[in-house]
Amino acid sequence: MGYFRLAEGVIHTVTAPKVPWQTVMFSGAVHSFADPTATRGSSVYDEKLARRSYAMMRDFFSESF
């Protein structure tokens, strides 16, 4: 299943019950970018992106709930 097909399924699932949601893509982010123990291969921690993503998550939660 392609990414956009999967995304359509997620969008439908959360839109139907009117659940607040958002999605964000960071250019250059790799898998596990917010995991400080990720240190090799395609799983590498990125402190700047981790801080930004956590700040965005906290803002979203405070505005939505």
Q: What pLDDT was estimated at residue 25?
A: 87
Domain ranges of the chain: 18-64
Rounded mean pLDDT for each run of 10 residues along the chain, 65 residues in total: 74 81 88 92 93 96 89
Reported as type and span, the H/E element at residue 61 is: helix 47-64
Local structure of 44: helix, strand or coil? strand
Whose CA is closest to 23, among 36, 35, 12, 10?
10
- The pTM is what? 0.71
Residues 42 and 29: beta-carbon distance below 8 Å: no
Name the residue type at position 53. S
